[in-house]
Amino acid sequence: MSAEIICVGTELLLGEILNSNAQFLAQQLAQLGIPHYFQTVVGDNLDRIAQVIKIAQERGSRILLFTGGLGPTPDDLTTEAIASYFQTPLIEDAASLDDITAKFAQRGRVMSSNNRKQALIPQGAKVLPNPVGTAPGVIWQPKPDLLIMTFPGVPREMQRMWHDTAVPYLHSQGWGQQTIHSQTLRFWGIGESSLAVKVQSFFELTQPTVAPYAGKGEVRLRLSAKAASAEEAMEVITPVADQIRAIAGPDYFGCDQDTLAAVVGRALQRRGDTLAVAESCTGGMLGAMLTEVPGSSSYFWGGVIAYANTIKTQVLGVSETDLAQWGAVSAIVAEQMAQGVQRLYGTTWGLSITGVAGPGGATAEKPIGLVYIALAWAQGTMNWECRFGSQHDRELIRHLSACTALDYLRRQLAALE
């Protein structure tokens, strides 16, 4: 029996608010092990809401979770639309009306007449209480093979109602006896298509399932298994995840909530090493990523945003001659920036970035997306030339530059362990 999430609200269609309710409910359904194949967003319109219900039934959805459209205004039509579709009259629930009235009184306000609308429920439905707001929902089985639950669009109210009433009800009806648990493997330095070729055979598995997705330079593989508990699901997932890690080699950097900065931080801590950074085109983004990790002050000592050439020469000690000959975006300047920041802070490692993020500043020889990264430590200095492509916007090039710099450091640290 599969569920479908139906979010009602023209404001969602217009992009005026983020649909966080769908994300929350999708995560909750996975935890309960309830299959969920479709999500729908529909505007505040009786006919279109009815059409959505019809389509959901035709494609086999047997639990319909509605959010939004339970308010007191004329465009709040969810309850009315559901009752009308199943040709069921609306009745005023006395307990709900008393609750709404009491909540207005507690706030020192007089209830408007249009708030009585929120106490209307389809005949035969049960009230899904709202302990923190004025709009109750309903739990209703208009047909033996169909369950409908409605929730207000306010995330705080919806989430409380879900945990307090909806989940216990689903358990009582025999739903949610299993969980769908996932682990996400994360990769940097390899494209989605290249990784897919390496692990193609795993995409045919059904327990666990393996699915790829990518964005902003990172590739992820989500491994999902259905079992009685998260622990049992991980027993299914782990052997497959281990095989994929072995195939991917150093392109794999972590799982689930791991970030490149966090992985690098753990490696630095294990070795007792310290790091300082020098940034030009990223303008502090690399340092920000590092300091997002709690406890990073134990290994990250600071950085220099060397945007102007005078800072490169006067603070980091970059040669004015080399700067004039090769330009700020060059391997030799990147190396001297890394050496300079390492020397300035007295750290184990110095990591630098200089490049052309665009949209201006490019030449035929140095196009947008050309970036140099350098790493300095006691054994010497290394540099890498990266060409991220002029088709990308400034923000993405800066993001790719900072993440790639962390990845190069991660790989070097791994090679020393």
Distances (CA, A) of 198 to 184, 239, 252: 17, 17, 13
Give the mean pLDDT of 153-178. 94
**What secondary structure letter does DSSP report for 139?**
E
Give me 308's structure tokens.
Answer: 């102007």
In CATH, the architecture of 179-255 is: 2-Layer Sandwich (3.30)
Question: pLDDT-derived band of residue 328, with 50, 70 and 90 as boundaries?
Answer: very high
Q: What is the DSSP letter of 60?
A: T
Q: Residue ranges of the alpha helices (H) in 217-330?
A: 230-248, 260-271, 285-291, 309-314, 320-326
8-state DSSP, 162: I
For the segment 111-131, the average pLDDT, to the nearest whole number, is 94
- The lowest-confidence range among 61-70, 100-109, 249-258 is 100-109
pLDDT at residue 1 greater than cutoff 80: no
Q: What backbone torsions phi and psi does residue 368 show, to the nearest 5 degrees?
A: -60, 135
pLDDT of 366 higher than 90: yes
Shortest CA distance to 404 belongs to which of 249, 190, 185? 190
- Asked if CATH classification 2.40.400.10 holds for the domain at 260-416, the reply, yes or no, is no
Are the folds of 179-255 and 260-416 the same?
no
Residue-wise pLDDT tens digits, 219-258:
999 999 999 999 999 999 999 999 999 999 999 999 999 9
Residue 5: partners with Cβ closer than 8 Å, 6 or more residues away: 21, 22, 25, 26, 29, 36, 38, 39, 40, 65, 67
Pick the CATH number of 2-172 from 3.80.10.10, 3.30.300.30, 3.30.70.141, 3.40.980.10: 3.40.980.10
Structure confidence at residue 171 (pLDDT):
92
pLDDT of residue 346 exceeding 90: yes
- Tell me: pLDDT of 163 over 80: yes
pLDDT at 112: 86
CA separation for the pair 223, 285 (Å, rounded): 31
- How far, in Å, CA of 98 to CA of 114, rounded? 14
**Is the pLDDT at 390 greater than 90, yes or no?**
no
Each residue of 283-312: pLDDT tens digit? 999 999 999 999 999 999 999 999 999 999
Residue type, 151: F
State the pLDDT confidence band at 268, using cuts at 50, 70 and 90.
Answer: very high
* pLDDT on residue 113: 85
Residue extents of the structural domains in the chain? 2-172, 179-255, 260-416
| Rounded Cα distance, 229 and 92, in Å | 41
Please state the separation of Cα 199 from the chain's center in Å. Answer: 24
Beta strands 120-122 and 252-255: pairing type? unpaired
Percent of the chain with pLDDT over 70: 100
State the pLDDT confidence band at 205, using cuts at 50, 70 and 90. very high
